Amino acid sequence: MTKGDKILIASIIVLSILSLVYIKNIALSDGESYVSIQVDGDEIKKIIFDKKIIGKTIPIETEFGYNLVEIGDKRVRVIEADCPDQLDVKQGYISRPGEIIVCLPNKLVIEIKGIGDDGDGDVDYISH
For 74-113, how does the pLDDT look when each residue is reduced to its tens digit (9 = 90+)? Answer: 899 999 999 999 999 999 999 888 899 999 999 999 999 8
Identify whether the C-beta of residue 77 lies closer than 8 Å to the C-beta of residue 91: yes
pLDDT at 21: 80
Which residues lie closer than 8 Å to 53 by C-beta, 6 or more apart? 47, 71, 125, 126, 127
Helix (H, G, I), strand (E, B) or coil at 30: coil
Say yes or no to pLDDT of 11 above 60.
yes
pTM score: 0.67
Among residues 77, 107, 106, the alpha carbon closest in space to that of 89 is found at: 77
Q: Across the chain, what does the average pLDDT equal?
A: 85
Say yes or no to pLDDT of 62 above 50.
yes
pLDDT digits (tens, 9 = 90+) for 30-41: 467 899 999 999
